[in-house]
Structure 1
Amino acid sequence: MNRNIFITLAFTFIMGLGFWLNACQSGNDNYKMLADNPELVHRGMRRITDIMRHDIFSPPQASRIYAYSAVAAYEALVPGYPDYRSLAGQLNGLTECPKPESGAEYCYPLASVTALMKVGKNLIFSESSMTDLEETIFEEFQAMDLPEAVYERSVKFGQDVADHIIQWTKSDNYAQTRSAPKYTIDVKDRSRWVPTPPQYNDAVEPHWKLIRPWVLDSARQLKPIPNIPFSEDPNSEFTKAVRQVYDVSKTLSDFEKESALYWDCNPFEVDVAGHLMVATKKISPGGHWVNITGHACRKVNASIIKSAETYALVSLALADAFISCWTEKYIGNLVRPETVINRTFDPSWHPFIETPPFPEHTSGHATISAAAATILTKSFGEPFEFTDSTEMIFNMAPRTFKSFYEASDQAAMSRLWGGIHYHIANEGGRMNGREIGNYIWNKIQTRTQ
């Protein structure tokens, strides 16, 4: 009798163990499916955008944060996808990243978002907001029933990659530019940029040309076309360009006004009421294109690795485009239309949107929009219709575009409609941005085949 009971208990234990092992295997398969979710990367990039909007980073600074964060996300993910290759050795100064332990199991999406969030948190001010996202995402991964060893190993790997990227950031000259001499205003030279109303802010990032490029070999590798030479001759090409800005401002259509506002993306803008100035805290122009990247990835149901790859390439294009554009701005130091118009023929004139605080040529919006649009066009093809809802948080309706280039061209033209750029600055930026985007697409290899 006792022997029969023992046999029955043993049989029950063995059967239960088998069911338990099967359940564990099923759980493993389930976590892999749940973790392979591109929304994890989308949410991380969006949180960085929201934090930078709150902290009011300048557009060039924001592009730097996007680039490092997106590269971290990609580098921690790529070991799990044999068809993709690392960016180490392809980006200036980026040495070989940490490697996962051979034969060990990892949840690479967990490693990826860990790296993204740690790098992002290292580069922003409002760390608590990123910590909130970390806690939420880590709880979601824990709810996926990952084996504890896999969870801990994956988080550690993501942190190791993040630490490697953070170390890389320290050699890009950013810290040195924080203590560089202040931009000198030369009021005697009427061709040079001077601060503009209503804030009369200091020049933004006058030493950005010293930042190490990501893919370009130097800040001046791909030079934009120069500005029209300054002249106060009423019959000069420069005066004609100034007059065009003024004349266009007098006949703006509703669409042109709405477009100027839609693409404004000025983190420095303030609402003025008497002596009171309130910061609007708009998304940066680079942030707008990071959002468009998310729209495109979601439309085609891009995988997590495809999404991370696209964010990385777009962010690199934005970052190098800002370096190229900002270098030209402070070499030319060209005066803004608002200043010339007020001096010469209409002291009371002001542009439809606020003039941002840096020299005129070339247009940053035109340059970075064209660079991002080029990467996205190469990634998803043309035509590619998409709806952009980035500005809904500012009570502006979504816009549908037939292609990325249609959107970037509209962004460029919006600066003329807004009254803050001469047409050649928009065209020069548009051409330079496309050249930069094509260069990055052709140089950086993210696939093994």
Structure 2
Amino acid sequence: MKNQLRYILAVITLGTLSYSCMEDLPTEYEFTGYEFVELDVDAGEWNLVLFTNNEQVAIPQPAAVGSPALNQELADAKSKIQNASAAQKEAVEYWTNNPLLRWNEIALELATKYNLIPAPNPDGTYPAPDPTKPDQYPLFPYSHPPYTSRMLAYLSVAQYDGLIMAWHYKEKYGRPAPYELDAQIKSAYSENGLKSYPSDGAVVAITSRDILTAMFPLEKEYLAKMAEEHLESLVIAGINVSSDVEAGKLIGTEVSKKALARAATDGMRNAQTNKVKSDSIKNAAIARFGWYWENQETPQRPVGLTPLFGRVKMWNVPTVEEVRPGPPPAPGSPQFNEDAEELKRYAKNMTAKERSIANFWNDGLNTYTPPGHWNRFAKETVVKYRLSPVRTARIFAYMNMAIVDAGISCWDAKYYYHYPRPIQTIPGFKTILGTPNFPAYTSGHSTFSSAAAEVLSHFFPLEATQFRKWAEEAAMSRIYGGIHYRFDAEVGLEQGKAVGAYSVAKAKLDQVD
């Protein structure tokens, strides 16, 4: 499985991406370690997310330069480097000096692997994944877009808080890297001059292992193996000694506990409801608006996807009602009829380019979903700008918090308004992509994408035009595919932008961007 997970990142200008299958890999250029454009030495003062700003995970004071203890660690490191096997050297090259990107790839690959909707039973009923029995069919989790967005947020935030703490101690103790202390030790990567205690790589390895194990419990052994390989590579790469690694592990462990404690009480366990609760949500919409969405499959799924995801705890938006859009046009109204006619025109006169756009942004089953799509864009941009691990973590944390908040706000609107899909309201209408098992208004692709674009545009202002163009294209792709009306997509873009603005406002409090 390791080879499947070794994505090769493209160091390319983002505007040159071609319309192809989202998981067409490897890409043209190989991602290797690079020299950071800056070390962000003051990152230890940035605002934490899970912890308060005066909280720090306690780690021991490191052995002083020139001390017998540190000299012994350097000797041990030299021995490990000299005796490294071919596989260990390959691991050093794979993990690089910004391993956060590799762990993000692993997360996306696992999301892809588990993004498979359960099939119906012979009697027409549908089974549901059981987190208490993850190895029982259907396997847990079903990594649909809400699940994947939440997973990526916890992963990114844990990595970020851990790295802020690591940078705090790097500045406090200032212990040079092994290759600076012993001329016989050579760094496998660019000699950035980053302080070594505690190991930032170890923080990333442990937080990533722990969060992903909680999210994908059947992958526990695989993730443990990857983490051990990553930890071992840090010494063989010449950038850490064993005490650096142990201190990083301490930080990673405590940060993971904090993140998973939040996850245990954020409301996700109640997002998937039973039929009684699902029917009550539908009936409330009928009472309010006179319409309702209904699954069109045969056999019919009695419950939509995660009806109460809209009640999951948000990261940066105070309440979901603050970003809930107004109601959509009633079926049969002039605005509805205009947008319905547009869908029929596209279905009848679809161009090759429009179909290509619809397929590129499909992000359906067995893909890493729209949130994964935007994580890929972020990775490619991070490599292009040669950002340090802590600044990389910052971008992923704020972007993925915005993405999951956008998903929560979108699902709130979906089940509050319970608006029917085009296939339900337009007689004889057929889509080219199938129809998702949840209401139409607003578009998930639009909200996810607009929120991500808003955050990425803040961090990479020179790329803002391209990011926003992609968000608009993602929204249009759902119209081309016949899955959404134009008002679903356009309001979703506005909704996602409003959600993204909350993450940007929080990021600006650090006064570092």
**Pairwise TM-score range, normalised by the shorter structure:** 0.7 to 0.9
Corresponding residue pairs, total: 375
- Does 2:314 align with 1:213? yes
The answer to whether 1:367 aligns with 2:440 is no
Distance in 1 (alpha carbons) for counterparts of 2:223 and 2:71: 37
Partner of 1:358, secondary structure, is coil
CA–CA distance in 2 between the matches of 1:200 and 1:260?
A: 25
Of 389, 397, 400, which aligns to 1:304?
389
SS of the residue 1:191 aligns to? coil
Give ranges in structure 1 of 5+ residues lacking alignment. 1-16, 85-103, 268-280, 385-401
The answer as to whether partners of 1:412 and 1:426 remain within 8 angstroms in 2 is: yes
Post-superposition shift, 1:334? 0.6
- Give the SS at the match of 1:183: helix
CA-CA distance at 1:36 after TM superposition: 10
Deviation digits for residues 119-161 of structure 1 (CA, Å, limit 9, x no counterpart): 1211224324423422331231242353322222221221111
**4+ runs deviating over 4 angstroms:** 20-23, 25-28, 33-38, 178-182
Q: Which residue of 2 aligns with 1:339?
A: 424
Change (3 A) 1:411 1:171: same
Cα displacement (A) at 1:162: 0.7
Give the Cα–Cα distance (whole angstroms) in 1 for the partners of residues 466 and 391 of structure 2: 19
Distance 2:461 2:256 in 1: 32
Displacement of 1:209 in angstroms is 1.8
Question: Counterpart of 1:72?
Answer: 158
The C-alpha deviation readout for 1:322-344, integer Å capped at 9, x for no partner, is 011100000110110011123xx
Asked if 1:46 corresponds to 2:144, the answer is no
Contact 2:421–2:439 (Cα < 8 Å) also in 1: yes
Structure 2 counterpart of 1:276: none
Q: Which residue of 2 aligns with 1:328?
A: 413
Tell me the amino acid that sits aligned with residue 413 of structure 1.
M
Which of 342, 367, 381 is the equivalent residue of 1:282?
367
Query: What CA deviation, in whole Å up to 9, does each residue of 1:244-288 have, x standing for no partner?
Result: 211121111111000001001123xxxxxxxxxxxxx12211111
* Separation of aligned partners in 2, 1:174 and 1:375: 24
Distance 2:72 2:224 in 1: 36
Q: What's the Cα RMSD here?
A: 3.4
Q: How has the CA–CA distance of structure 1 residues 411 and 35 changed in structure 2, closer, same or farther, with 3 Å as cutoff? A: closer
Secondary structure of 2:294's counterpart equals: coil
How has the CA–CA distance of structure 1 residues 410 and 292 changed in structure 2, closer, same or farther, with 3 Å as cutoff?
Answer: same
Give the 3 Å change call, closer, same or farther, for CA 38–242 of structure 1 in structure 2.
farther
Whole-angstrom distance in 2 between the partners of 1:292 and 1:328: 27
Of 224, 227, 230, the residue aligned with 1:131 is 224
| 8 A Cα contact 2:202 2:248, kept in partner | yes
2:74 alignment partner in structure 1 = 24
Instruction: State the shift of 1:82 in Å.
Output: 5.0
Cα 1:199–1:83 shift into 2, 3 Å:
farther
Assess, with a 3 A threshold, how the Cα gap between structure 1 residues 61 and 446 changes in structure 2: closer, same or farther.
Answer: farther
- 2:132 is matched with which residue? none
CA distance 1:265–1:198, change in 2 (3 Å): farther
Structure 1 residue corresponding to 2:459, chosen from 365, 373, 379 = 379
1:265 aligns with 2:363: yes
CA distance in 2, matches of 1:383, 1:150: 36
* Distance change (3 Å), C-alpha of 1:182 and 1:223: closer
Deviation at 1:213, TM superposition (A): 0.7
- Equivalent residue runs for 1:236-247 within 5 Å: 236-247=334-345
Q: 1:196 maps to what in 2?
A: 296
User: Once structures 1 and 2 are overlaid, which stretch shifts more, 111-120 or 198-207?
Assistant: 198-207
Query: Between Structure 1 and Structure 2, whose CA radius of gyration is higher?
Result: 1
Equivalent in 94, 115, 118 of residue 207 of structure 2:
115
| Pair 1:26–1:302, CA change in 2 (3 A) | farther
In 2, Cα distance between the equivalents of 1:435 and 1:361? 16
Residues 273 and 306, structure 2, Cα contact 8 Å, conserved in 1: no
Paired position in structure 1 for 2:258: 164
- Residue deviations 1:287-311 (CA, integer Å, cap 9, x gap): 1111111111111111111111111
Q: Which runs of 5+ in 2 are unaligned?
A: 1-66, 82-91, 116-142, 171-195
Q: Give the deviation of 1:111 after TM superposition.
A: 1.1
Superposition map of 1:424-439 within 5 A: 424-439=487-502
- Name the CA distance, whole Å, in 2 between partners of 1:203 and 1:422: 19
Whole-angstrom CA distance in 2 between matches of 1:444 and 1:330: 30
Residue 448 of structure 1: CA displacement? Answer: 5.9
Structure 1 CA distance for aligned equivalents of residues 157 and 455 of structure 2: 15
* TM superposition shift of 1:26: 12
- Contact 1:219/1:324 (8 A) holds in 2: yes
